[in-house]
Structure 1
Amino acid sequence: MAHILVVDDSSTVRNEVGDFLRKNGLDVTLAVDGRDGLEKLKGDSRIKLVVSDVNMPNMDGLTMAEKIRSELGNSAVHIIMLTTENSPIMKERGKAAGIKGWIVKPFKGDAVLATFRKLVGV
């Protein structure tokens, strides 16, 4: 089954999103920042969707997305930002990195569940 990687430095948000997705029958892996997310993505080819915060220590979500595309050469995984950031400049940077969507927190799972399922093919 396809996996979703949830990347957020806030354990509250990370667990809220992960728990919601699991309760709705999706497999989830959690990561604490962009660096951790990148490593987990490298090690698990089942991951089809990354849902990530932007502002995190060690490696932010946009840098992680850029590295997914450039260093890993992975253009197949879908990336969605879940963040408080709403800056047009950041959104443009995300678009250039191949980000599929930009969701402003708070997380409203019911509003995005069908889209997430479509992106992972279930």
Structure 2
Amino acid sequence: MKTKVLAIDDSRTIRNLLAATLEEAGFEYHCAVDGREGVDMYDDVAPDVVITDINMPNLDGFGVIEELRGTGINSKVPILVLTTESAPEMKARARDAGATGWITKPFDDQSLIFALKRVTGAVA
């Protein structure tokens, strides 16, 4: 069974790059165009890992993390932040909200795949 990834990013370019990278590596890829859509589709997708941007319309990445962690059911699913932001206070805020890790854009394909495998224990 493939590892399911739910990627939440308002950038079509990033979603397309993630799709190409993750599908080629053997992951099952699902995406949402903003935080609200991502949270709303979470239960239907039942992902093994979530990747979220921080700066998005409707619900930002911090809101995504807080909503997913707030239900209790989702406390074990890893959440990786993929963003252009790199300020230590933003990383701390994401970690405090329940993020598992932080990756700065632009991302390196192999580093992203390695991080996903590490946090999910998956082979792909």
Task: Give TM-score, length-normalised by structure 1.
Answer: 0.91
Q: Distance in 1 between matches of 2:43 and 2:32?
A: 12
The answer to whether the Cα contact below 8 Å between 2:7 and 2:30 also exists between their aligned partners in 1 is yes
Query: By how many angstroms is 1:92 displaced?
Result: 1.2
Q: Distance in 2 between matches of 1:2 and 1:81?
A: 18
Residues 2-17 of structure 1: pairs in structure 2 closer than 5 A: 2-17=3-18
Structure 1 unaligned blocks of 5 or more: none
Q: Letter of the 2:117 partner, please give it.
A: R
Task: Give TM-score, length-normalised by structure 2.
Answer: 0.90
The answer to whether the Cα contact below 8 Å between 2:6 and 2:45 also exists between their aligned partners in 1 is no
- 4+ long deviations beyond 4 Å: none
Could you tell me which residue of structure 2 aligns to residue 41 of structure 1?
Answer: 42
Q: Distance in 1 between matches of 2:3 and 2:45?
A: 10
Q: Letter of the 1:48 partner, please give it.
A: D
Q: Distance in 2 between matches of 1:85 and 1:22?
A: 25
Q: Distance in 1 between matches of 2:71 and 2:26?
A: 31
Query: By how many angstroms is 1:52 displaced?
Result: 1.0
Moved more, 64-73 or 79-88: 64-73
Query: By how many angstroms is 1:104 displaced?
Result: 0.9
